């Protein structure tokens, strides 16, 4: 049976600060540059969520995009939008909120919440219009 991928994009704005608590501020600034400043900074993130599965013969969908949008907005965007990623999001814990770490955490939020027969295939998290990270779940237990 044909396997098809579908993608939905959601948006959220969030602040963060990169750095390690066990490092000095000087070392954090050397390593993370302006992103380590103590007064935070923000991004307007875009998240592309790609799922895959067989096309339902009755509906013609892999997954209704309305349902995918709702899932991504409820489990990710609503939890992150207008939040400080370092202090306001319990499921991020004490994670250094780089875009790479964030996309892996988002994967964990979404992967187990999809309908039967639908799998999470790829996330693309845009930090800026020119910078993004991509994750396919590779290496997760």
Q: Cα dist. 128→5, 45, 46, 108, 124 in Å?
A: 24, 7, 8, 22, 12
Active site residue 43: no
Would the CA dihedral through 48, 63, 89, 27 be positive or negative?
Answer: negative
The CATH code of domain 3-135 reads: 3.30.479.10
Annotated catalytic residue within 16, 35, 74, 134: 35
- Give residue limits of the domains in the chain: 3-135
Annotated catalytic residue within 11, 41, 82, 134: 82
For residue 11, give every residue at least 6 positions away whose Cβ sits within 8 Å of its Cβ, in sequence order, or none: 44, 45, 46, 47, 77
Active site residue 127: yes
The pTM (predicted TM-score) of the whole model is 0.92
What is the rounded distance in angstroms from the CA atom of residue 52 to the CA atom of residue 129? 25
Q: 7 near 50, Cβ under 8 Å?
A: yes
pLDDT per residue, tens digit, the chain (141 aa), is 789 999 999 999 999 999 998 999 999 899 998 889 888 899 999 999 999 999 998 989 999 999 999 999 999 999 999 999 999 999 999 999 999 999 999 999 999 999 999 999 999 999 999 999 999 999 987
Active site residue 35: yes
């Amino acid at each position: 049976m044909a396997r098809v991928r579908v993608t939905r994009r959601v948006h959220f704005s969030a602040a963060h600060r990169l750095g390690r608590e066990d490092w000095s501020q000087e070392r954090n600034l050397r390593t993370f540059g302006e992103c380590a400043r103590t007064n935070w900074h923000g991004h307007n993130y875009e998240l592309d969520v790609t799922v895959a599965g067989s096309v339902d013969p009755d509906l013609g969908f892999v997954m209704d995009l309305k349902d995918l949008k709702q899932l991504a907005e409820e489990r990710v965007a609503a939890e992150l939008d207008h939040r400080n990623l370092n202090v306001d999001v319990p499921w991020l814990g004490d994670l250094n909120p780089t875009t790479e770490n964030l996309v892996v955490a988002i994967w964990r939020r979404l992967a187990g919440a999809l309908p039967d027969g639908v799998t999470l295939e790829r996330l693309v998290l845009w930090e800026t219009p020119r910078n993004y990270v991509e994750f396919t779940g590779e290496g997760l237990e």
